[in-house]
Amino acid sequence: MESDLAIASSSSSSSTMESGLAIASSSSSSSTMESGLAIASPASSPSPSSSPFASLLFPLTMGSDLAIASSSSSPPLLFLSTMDSDKGVLLPWIHKHLMVPWNSLEKGRCCGRSEAITDGYHCEECDFFVHKKCSESPAYIQHPSHSDHTLWLQSRPNGYCDLCGRRTVISYNCETCEFDVDLYCAKYPPPEVMEVSETHRHTLTLLKKRTKFDCGANCGKIGNYDEFPYECDECELFFHIDCVWHPPEAKHTLEFTTMDTGERVSLPWIHKHLMLPWNDTRKGDCCGRNEAITHGYFCKRCDFFVHKKCGDDSPKSIQHPSHSLHPLWLQITSNAYCDLCGKAIVDLSYSCKICGFNIDLFCVEYPPPEVIGNSEMHPHKLTLLKKRIDFDCDAKCGKSGEKEFLYKCDECEIAFHVDCLWHPPEVKHPLEVNHSYHSLHPLKLHMGLLPDYSDGRCRLCGRKIDDRLFYHCSSCNFTLDMRCVLHPPPQSLLDLKAHDHRLTLLPRLDSFTCNACGLKGDRSRYVCFQCGFTIHQDCLGLPRVININRHGHRVSRTSLLGVVNSVCGVCREKVDWIYGGYSCQRCPDYVVHSKCATRKDVWNGKELEGVPEEMEDVEPYEVIDENTIQHFSHKEHYLRLHVNGVSYEENKRCRACCHPIGLQYFYGCIDCEFVLHQYCAELRRRKWHVLHNEQLTLAWSETDCFWCDACHRVSNGFMYKHGNVTLDVRCSSISEPYVHPSHPHHPLYYIPPNNHQICSGCNKRESYVLRCIEDGCEFVLGFECATLPQVIKHRVHDHPLSLCYGEEGASGKYWCDICEKESDPKTWFYTCKDRRASLHTKCVLGDFSGLMPRNIAISWEAMLNNSVTRPFCRECKSRCIHPIIVKDLGTLDAYICSKECMIKVLESIGL
């Protein structure tokens, strides 16, 4: 073989090929080929040519210099080769796109589990991560759970594992019996019966039936028809498999070692992301307390901080005197309370798997005493009342007790917070400190309320004093929080990203305007005495180059915007051009306030300085000729452009938005009924949207339904998705400035409201709205009304209906011909050409207008409600009046008419 890859077995075989790959099995064989691939498999296994993987191997571009020898007794590795390029690695058996080597603590899409060793591969386009360990799985196995046939590795996104009941993404499958085993259970199959368990004292049996149950391990998660449970017949309790079955090989050590990645540290049992070594005096998200020693770890992405002491020194199990009957195990705990102090557990606790007893990390080391006989706060004996109630603390700390334990004096009938009375000696702070920024007088430790004359904020950092402990000088009205006492800002610094010259801190109250952001400040600024530059402390760390969700290009920080009469691209307020901000190098007039550009809902927190800009968006289709394309969603056939605009096409529906083609131009498949609006066919594969701070990817699944996060409609068309955020194509098409026919004179913008707003179209409260920013105009439009079709056809009228935006001066009663109920003329409705109809928008469209008729999702089928006799809804018992309804495939005549009825049905069956 002149080039490429050869894999030979242990017995006699030969292969000759100028280009390509030859693999010979254990028996004598030979193959000759000029280019391509020949595979001979074991006699006991299905031939690869009949396997669905075979087609995935042929497109591989050969050129690897790897040689592998395998014997007939061991199956070949799944990845015969990985194709490296300057863009990534191709793992064709796992994923269709190029992937890059990646470290992540998230669950792998391969096995659905988290791994302590986080090496793997990631596809940015699909946000798809697989463990390196799983990517090296063999192509076929003989498994004891299904010993009659060979199991082959396949992509099975809609399958279920026959050992644990969970949904699979990739699994080992028997092509004869349709038996599936996911990658985790292939290695660690859960036992049918467990005689001994740390979680429960009786025998547990694996119930191979997906059902709804409350887990007896008090893990805080409900079993919701998504896996098999373990069942105790004596106690009638159910448990998640993961709560009782921990294979020794799969256990993560709780006494973990940190994995350094540059400056970042991996603490898998504390947090899912890589963290930075960090010093901070704020409360730790580990124990919920402040520590005098502030070394720890911090995740910038989640604003998550843990003390080094909690992260490194917590053993995996302890015997604690407060619960001596059973060992306590360290675990991530949610929706639970500490049984010693009554506080909500932030993240980690020691828990008894048998009793459900929990202790937070602070109380493990410093348990509050049951009785305090001698206290500086009160002369009488105080008893810990282990009951979570509301009370007023008599320590005058300024904070009311809300559902927590308290110390109570039976003689005086007064109550105190646990923290106001109980101070372990190890965490006591000095009563006085001499601070470098206040050398005139010592600062005294205060607890509770600030003096009335104080402004309630730290003199150095400006943060509100919200801790019970702080230092204060009453002579000078000078207050510092604990963070600035222990770690004050430097007196001078040279930060070339912020300014070219050395900056000096002026620790005093002083009104100024920050040159970096253009906003006012009142204290402790950094100044440059050489040129007069002034900057807030928190503006020193402003990033240099970022992406924001309001603009398609990167924006860069500049010290002088220089664009006169401009408005901010986020808040739409005027920008003062003599101060700093962010601007687009491609769009000279686009500028953004520094504070607006770095808001959490606008920026994803990633600094892009020095990071090469990504390639331009991949086109959604390939042009075949002037009127013909091949779309990424329908690669098997070509789509041809049809010029419409005369007759309303109601029988064809766009596969992207699921609405009728209507009067619009569209692409239709030459060989089948697949249809896309021209606009929908041209949707970009990736885009930014005002509702999410990460770039969204266009995706589609023929079988899955989703709820749009903007308009709350259900759909099975195309979606833009990133993580847990999903938008349908109509809502994702809204960009700023947005001009709607109902408000043509002023554009609309997404300005996040402080609370829900009343939509001008439907008069309902909406969480996501577009607003007019003109003075005195209170027009507000929800995403559902903003994306209503302007023209629609309905069976009650011969002609298309048009959307009417209400009639303010209407007199008399308006009636809807569909539901035969009164309609409100002040809200939007559909009407015909002669204005003799006023049909509710919901009656015309229904709740399932985003579903493609005749498409099946799980056990439901969407169908047109166009029969002569309308069926009855199984839930509300009324006739279904909407144009699209859903039918339960498990019954002959079970129909659902609306979203409300669907939710009730799902709740009744436990979903």
Does 156 fall in a domain?
A: yes
From residue 362, how far is each of 313, 351, 352, 845 by CA, in Å?
A: 12, 14, 17, 56
More confident call, 892 vs 25: 892
Strand 503-513: give its sheet, edge to edge.
492-493, 503-513, 520-527, 534-535
Lowest mean pLDDT among 392-406, 593-607, 631-645, 681-695: 392-406
4: pLDDT strictly greater than 70? no
Instruction: Please report the pLDDT score of residue 70 as a whole number.
Output: 32
Residues 113 and 225 occupy one common structural domain: yes
Lowest mean pLDDT among 253-257, 483-487, 590-594, 727-731: 253-257
Of residues 222, 223, 299, the one with CA closest to residue 268: 299
Residues 226 and 93 occupy one common structural domain: yes
Residue whose entry in the numeric block shows the structure tokens 């990739």 = 170
Instruction: Please report the pLDDT score of residue 519 as a whole number.
Output: 92
Does 75 fall in a domain?
A: no
Residue type, 553: H
Does the CA dihedral 518-519-520-525 come out positive or negative? negative
Instruction: Please report the pLDDT score of residue 77 as a whole number.
Output: 36
Sort strands 204-206 and 660-662 into parallel, antiparallel or unpaired: unpaired
Structure-block tokens of residue 767: 């969480």
CB-CB contact of 720 with 694 (8 Å): no
- Which residue intervals of 769-859 are DSSP H helices? 783-786, 841-845
Q: Taking residues 46-70, what's their average pLDDT?
A: 30
Structure-block tokens of residue 479: 């207050």
Beta bridge partners of 649: 662
Structure-block tokens of residue 701: 């699944």
Residues 410 and 452 occupy one common structural domain: no
Instruction: Please report the pLDDT score of residue 549 as a whole number.
Output: 92
Structure-block tokens of residue 262: 């540059």
21: pLDDT strictly greater than 50? no
Instruction: Please report the pLDDT score of residue 843 as a whole number.
Output: 92
738: pLDDT strictly greater than 50? yes
- Among 841, 876, 892, give the residue marking a domain's end: 841
Beta bridge partners of 899: none
Of residues 711, 717, 579, 596, the one with CA closest to residue 654: 717
Q: Taking residues 257-265, what's their average pLDDT?
A: 47
Lowest mean pLDDT among 20-29, 132-141, 243-252: 20-29
Of residues 475, 454, 458, the one with CA closest to residue 467: 458
Residues 821 and 779 occupy one common structural domain: yes
Does 23 fall in a domain?
A: no
Question: Distance between CA 266 and CA 274 in Å, rounded?
Answer: 5
260: pLDDT strictly greater than 50? no
Percent of the chain with pLDDT over 90: 22
Backbone angles phi, psi at 903, to 5 degrees: -65, -40
- Among 477, 508, 538, give the residue marking a domain's end: 538
Does 390 fall in a domain?
A: yes
- The H or E element spanning position 905 is helix 899-908
More confident call, 341 vs 14: 341
Of residues 563, 473, 459, 573, the one with CA closest to residue 509: 459
| 517: confidence class by pLDDT, cuts 50, 70, 90 | very high
Backbone angles phi, psi at 743, to 5 degrees: -145, 65
Residues 788 and 807 occupy one common structural domain: yes
Instruction: Please report the pLDDT score of residue 378 as a whole number.
Output: 83
Instruction: Please report the pLDDT score of residue 290 as a whole number.
Output: 60
Residues 646 and 570 occupy one common structural domain: no
Residues 697 and 818 occupy one common structural domain: no
Of residues 484, 486, 481, 471, the one with CA closest to residue 441: 471
Does 79 fall in a domain?
A: no
Q: Which long-range contacts (CB under 8 A, 24 or more apart) does 518-522 make?
A: 518/575, 518/576, 518/579, 518/580, 518/581, 518/593, 518/594, 519/595, 521/462, 522/462
Q: What is the dihedral of CA 867, 869, 874, 876, to 10 degrees?
A: 120
Instruction: Domain of residue 382: give its range.
Output: 371-420
Residue whose entry in the numeric block shows the structure tokens 């990460």 = 694
More confident call, 193 vs 797: 193
Centroid of chain to Cα 263: 25
Instruction: Please report the pLDDT score of residue 739 as a whole number.
Output: 93
Residues 149 and 237 occupy one common structural domain: yes
Of residues 185, 83, 190, the one with CA closest to residue 143: 185
Residues 563 and 704 occupy one common structural domain: no
Residue type, 691: L
Helix/strand/coil (H/E/C) assignment for every residue in 271-337: CCCCEEEEECCCCCCCCCCCCCCCEEEEECCCCEEEEHHHHHCCCCEEEECCEEEEEEEEEECCCCE
pTM (predicted TM-score): 0.59
Does 130 fall in a domain?
A: yes
Instruction: Please report the pLDDT score of residue 62 as a whole number.
Output: 29
pLDDT digits (tens, 9 = 90+) for 291-321: 555 677 877 667 778 777 776 667 778 888 8
Of residues 830, 821, 832, the one with CA closest to residue 797: 832
Instruction: Please report the pLDDT score of residue 10 as a whole number.
Output: 36
Lowest mean pLDDT among 610-619, 707-716, 777-786: 610-619
CB-CB contact of 432 with 445 (8 Å): yes
Does 221 fall in a domain?
A: yes
Does 142 fall in a domain?
A: yes
Centroid of chain to Cα 834: 48
| 63: confidence class by pLDDT, cuts 50, 70, 90 | very low
Instruction: Please report the pLDDT score of residue 829 as a whole number.
Output: 93
107: pLDDT strictly greater than 50? yes
753: pLDDT strictly greater than 90? no
Highest mean pLDDT out of 417-426, 428-437, 611-620? 428-437
Lowest mean pLDDT among 61-70, 103-112, 573-582, 705-714: 61-70
At 371 the three-state DSSP class reads: strand
Residues 726 and 872 occupy one common structural domain: no
pLDDT digits (tens, 9 = 90+) for 765-786: 998 999 998 888 989 999 999 9
Residues 97 and 235 occupy one common structural domain: yes
Instruction: Please report the pLDDT score of residue 9 as a whole number.
Output: 33
823: pLDDT strictly greater than 80? yes
Residues 148 and 239 occupy one common structural domain: yes
Of residues 858, 755, 720, the one with CA closest to residue 210: 858
533: pLDDT strictly greater than 90? yes
Total domains in the fold of the chain: 9
CB-CB contact of 15 with 40 (8 Å): no
More confident call, 562 vs 828: 828
Average pLDDT, the chain: 78
Centroid of chain to Cα 596: 22
Instruction: Please report the pLDDT score of residue 68 as a whole number.
Output: 27
Instruction: List b or e across 751-767, with b for residues whose CB sees 16 or more CB atoms inside 10 angstroms.
Output: beeeeebebbbbeeebe
